[in-house]
Structure 1
Amino acid sequence: MKKIFHLILILIMTTFCLTPISLADGGLFTQLYRDIYEPNQLAMIIFDDMVEKIIFQIDYEGDAEDFAWVIPVPGYPKLFSVEDDIFYELHKLTQPPPPSNFGCGWGAGIPFPGLEDEGVHVWEENPVGIYHTTTLSASDPNSLVGWLNDNGYAFPVEGQEILDYYVQKNWFFVAMKIQSDEIVNNSEYYTGAIQPIGIMFFSDEMVYPLKISTLSAPSWGTEVLIYTFSDERVTFPGATEEYNAIINPDQLKEYPILQGLIDETFVLTKLRKNFSAEEMDEDLILLPVPKYIALGNIIDLNSPVGQFVLIVGIFVILLKIKKRNA
């Protein structure tokens, strides 16, 4: 019995001690692929004092002239360009160890009156990065679908119900197309992730506009990866939390893009979920994680501390079994 006990203990210790070594060589590339190339939608959200900044990046394959993207937001949006490598910086920042500042001002303040076009209000048009953007609001989803199609967005008629969902909530819409003079890799054909864009707006809650993605969701699902910076650790139903930590500006010296966006201490949470089309019937509301979460969600068994706790627990159980059989 003593030999069996010692053999089991050695096996457990060997398994947990060798696991980090076996992952150290190929694990980094695998995780980079999962964070940068695998998700269909990448987002970073900064939520502070009812101001939300959300940075989007999506996959697109096709001709630049065919690209069209519509994002609904609950408050009047201020758009800003974002450098391509921001999600690579977030990937590096959220790995377990080891194996131009944008303010909160709206610039011009109150938006100009814009143009009314039979139920559609065009507030402003601006170039932002590679995109030509139009900020809209609407009082009638029929008119909004008509405006989008008349302006080259090829919006499906079946999407009218989804637009009505946002129209009834008095949300704004940001419509984007790639500017005709923009060329990527000397080609007008895009494949993979395209340039991120940032949108800032007032909001009572941290929100990710997911419902509109139902219109383009593939049958095999849509993977969404969201990084949030807020006062508390947050989550949404069905999300897998892959990282959480308190981050202050001094920790971002090696991350120049993030350093230009983060100027105070936040809790960074990294959340991932693969959504079926049926699960995308509502926007995501990200809420604080309850204080009474289970111990299993607190201890990360992939971390040295988590593995140590698990080994000690197993050792205690085996010791009790040994004493019982003595």
Structure 2
Amino acid sequence: MLKRIAFALLAVSFLAPTVVLADGMIVPRPDRYVWETEQKAVIFYENNQETLVLSVSFQGNAEDFAWIVPTPSRPEVSKSSDELFTSLQELTAPIYDYPQPMPLRDASSVGYDEQGVYVLETKQIDYYKITVLEANNVDSLSQWLKDNGYQYPESGKYILDSYIKSGWYFTAIKIVDDYASANIEYQLNSGHAIPLKLEFAASKIVYPLKISAIEHQNNIRSDRYYQNQQLGILLYVITDNKQELPQFSTQYAGWLKKNSLENLAYDDNGNAWLRPAKDKYFLSKLYRLMTRAEMNSDLYLRQAGNNTTVNAPDSVESKGFTGFIVAMLVGGLVMIGLLVILLVSGMRKK
């Protein structure tokens, strides 16, 4: 009921709130309404290289929404798959005692300077129009976003400025209006858009969150439901060791072998979405409910104090070690038995 009331007020007033994402910020056109419902991400980190796969879930009128994702270095953006999230969800499900994609368009390196904004690349991935930006001036970046249909609020320029001063890049994403099909319309209306994969260099594992704290100027501030709405943030982190975040619950933690990681999902050509180099990795599944007010800093993952598993089956290594111990015990008992037999036999001969 509260959602319907909020929606009715917005529709009458022709005001659209900014929808916050834990992996960026959605800024719809002024005459559009989009209600963000969930954030999911897969993070694969190896050799100071991060692969961030983002899944956007939203409801409402989103045929021309705008999405901004900051990264600490220039990203390579490509398409991913829902299968990756489905496989990870199945893999990390609690243990109980009872039992047609569209083609990737060619990318172009634009590379022209628009008064402090450098367009590094533009390309289309399925129904996404992707623009990778670098900026040295917050006013110029804010103006570029406005000129290109990204209604970024003036009140949030300080966050853009902090990213610029730290040397971060920006990936601006829009959905192309005239590039649609019944299948795409269903994905948008059901709140499940095609995930995107961003690969970039990073000295630490990071999940961009700070930009999500901004509230659009046209938002109805008296709408307590919207202001206090808690959004679930679900992170699958795959790296060398167990990871954690303050106030995030660890729903799953366990070892994952290379072939299991490769088999999580495949692309249109039958190749693995993730291509690990090592034999095994640690998978941490972290979850937290957050309000917009709590999204005031980027999330830097911490290595846990130990690699204790959570809700994970025994690993191959632990099973092998247990089997080795059992074999040693059985072998020892057999040897003791033989010695006893020999001793008794010797005593009888005497």
Q: TM-score, normalised by structure 1?
A: 0.70
Deviates more, 1:246-255 or 1:113-122: 246-255
- Trace 1:149-298 onto structure 2 (pairs within 5 A): 149-180=146-177, 181-185=179-183, 187=185, 190-215=189-214, 219-252=228-261, 255-257=264-266, 259-263=272-276, 264=278, 265-291=280-306
| Greater C-alpha radius of gyration | 2
Distance 1:137 1:52, change over 3 A: same
- Trace 1:1-326 onto structure 2 (pairs within 5 A): 40-97=38-95, 99=99, 114-180=111-177, 181-185=179-183, 187=185, 190-215=189-214, 219-252=228-261, 255-257=264-266, 259-263=272-276, 264=278, 265-291=280-306
Distance 1:187 1:76, change over 3 A: closer
CA distance in 1, matches of 2:192, 2:208: 19
Shift of 1:269: 0.4
Q: Is the 8 A contact 2:252 2:312 kept in 1?
A: no
Deviates more, 1:246-255 or 1:169-178: 246-255
Q: Is the 8 A contact 2:83 2:264 kept in 1?
A: no
Shift of 1:253: 7.1
Distance 1:235 1:248, change over 3 A: same
More helix by share: 1
Number of residue-to-residue matches in the alignment: 253
Q: Which amino acid aligns with 1:228?
A: V
Q: Is the 8 A contact 2:133 2:170 kept in 1?
A: yes
Shift of 1:113: 7.2
Distance 1:304 1:88, change over 3 A: closer
Deviates more, 1:83-92 or 1:180-189: 180-189
Distance 1:184 1:77, change over 3 A: farther
Shift of 1:60: 2.1
Shift of 1:191: 4.0
Shift of 1:215: 2.5
Partner SS state of residue 82, structure 2:
coil
CA-to-aligned-CA distance 1:140-167 (integer Å, 9 cap, x gap): 1111111111001121222211111111
CA distance in 1, matches of 2:251, 2:184: 37
CA distance in 1, matches of 2:236, 2:138: 32
Shift of 1:177: 0.3
Task: Indicate the residue corresponding to 2:335 in structure 1.
Answer: none
Q: Gaps (5+ residues) in structure 1? A: 1-37, 100-107, 306-326
Distance 1:304 1:255, change over 3 A: closer
CA distance in 1, matches of 2:313, 2:127: 44
Q: Is the 8 A contact 1:40 1:223 kept in 2?
A: yes
Partner SS state of residue 135, structure 1:
strand
- Cα RMSD (Å): 2.9
CA distance in 1, matches of 2:293, 2:252: 27
CA distance in 2, matches of 1:113, 1:304: 49
CA distance in 1, matches of 2:139, 2:190: 32
Q: Is the 8 A contact 2:255 2:282 kept in 1?
A: yes
Q: Is the 8 A contact 1:228 1:268 kept in 2?
A: yes
Shift of 1:96: 3.7
Q: TM-score, normalised by structure 2?
A: 0.65
CA distance in 2, matches of 1:132, 1:220: 29
Q: Which amino acid aligns with 2:123?
A: N
Task: Indicate the residue corresponding to 2:323 in structure 1.
Answer: none
CA-to-aligned-CA distance 1:171-201 (integer Å, 9 cap, x gap): 0000000122033546486342321100000
Q: Is the 8 A contact 1:120 1:137 kept in 2?
A: yes
Moved segments of 4+, more than 6 Å: 302-305
CA-to-aligned-CA distance 1:86-124 (integer Å, 9 cap, x gap): 21111011124464xxxxxxxx9xx95711101111111
